[in-house]
Amino acid sequence: MNSTSLQAFPCRTWVEVDLDALRANVRAIREHLREGVKVMAVMKANAYGHGVKAMVRALRGRVDFFGVANLREGVEVRDEDEETPIFLLGPALAEERGEIIRRGFLPAVCSLEELKAYAALAGDTPFAIHLKIDTGMGRVGFLEGDLRGLMEAIRLFPNIWVTGVATHLPVADEDAGATTEQLAGFRGIVERLAGVSPVPLLVHAMNSAGMIGFPVGVGELVRVGLTLYGSAPIGSFQDHVRGILTWKVRMTQIRRVPAGHGVSYGRTFRTERPSDLATLAVGYADGYPRHLSGRGAEVLIRGQRCPVLGRVTMDQIVVDVSGLAGVGLEEEVVLLGRQGEEEILAAELAGKAGTIAWEIFTGIGPRVERVYLFEKSGRVSENDFVDPSSY
């Protein structure tokens, strides 16, 4: 059997992730915050599609917490960083709780059932938790009307230490008035909970949008995801951070077609004049959204925008390169990110696809190789990324 590694074969589409830009974004976030506010780097969903192993190693010692969605993600993070506290952002499955305790992860407890289950599993050793309060998100957490029963229950379990209180902001990037009201209500809840713990409570409410729009807001910790990766959910902050991901693809063919020629399935696009068309080796199976079909999407070649024509297919798209004299298959093509003076932001693709930047990043598929760039050591693939000490 031929044992040649798949890594030996050429890559058709890949992303380059700039770790120096990632660290610069952390500095920009800290500069925006009040002095002393801690930063939680959200690593869920494979670090928003950027590759959790490299993100954790690059941020080790530079953030105060890592945030994950579930136990498996927590284990992935802990494998790369043995010290930074790991916070589980939502409720745990019953089968996860014992391992969460054993590994010393910090869970967000969202119900009395969870509280009692952790108390039963923790034994005599005090176990730290944060309480999740629902102040308007409507997904999980204790409601304000639950507080009396919650505080009574906490007193029954001396082995459970409440060390923090959290909530989540659903419209911080859309409705400042509603968010201000929500934060005021959360402050009142925190005051009521102040006596439930022998230690000062770590209070956190701010996601990326909340951190940008309400920098003097509530709490001593912010949970940062999208902005960390260089895509600000509030446009006024975009100049403060740098996109860390550039998505590239290779051309497989360039042809001249006559006027009136159909392009892709359904022939929803027909050329108006003789045109030079390039086929790119990327499609919706790689995470390039099919909903970009016929929506004015563009790619960058030689720092110029070239339109995507017709429907996005599973493995290929077609772009018009008629304006580029002598274009060849060796040309670098950028789907997302900067090339020359032009840049295609995740927010731009998301807007044209009718979705959000979060989905653009997390949708980049597993056959898109991740390559990491850093100033001192250059370029390394995801599979070869070992230790950040060299940079």
Residue of 38, 44, 229, 352 marked active site: 44
265 tagged catalytic: yes
What is the C-alpha to C-alpha distance for residues 61 and 16, in angstroms, rounded to an integer?
23
The residue among 250, 227, 258, 265 whose CA lies nearest residue 346 is 227
The string of DSSP codes covering 335-388 is EEEEETTEEE-HHHHHHHHTS-HHHHHHT--TTSEEEEEETTTEEEEGGG---G
53 tagged catalytic: no
What is the C-alpha to C-alpha distance for residues 14 and 374, in angstroms, rounded to an integer?
16
Residue of 48, 132, 265, 372 marked active site: 265
Instruction: Give strand ranges (E) for 268-355.
Output: 269-270, 275-280, 298-301, 304-309, 317-320, 333-339, 342-344
Joined tokens for residue 123: 């034994």
The residue among 137, 368, 346, 140 whose CA lies nearest residue 241 is 346
Q: Tell me, what amino acid is at 40?
A: M
What is the C-alpha to C-alpha distance for residues 301 and 95, in angstroms, rounded to an integer?
50
- Phi and psi (nearest 5°) for 350? -60, -45
Joined tokens for residue 192: 């009521």
- Answer whether 68's CB lies under 8 Å from 43's CB: yes
Residues counted in the chain: 391
Joined tokens for residue 236: 């006024």
Give the catalytic positions in this structure: 44, 265
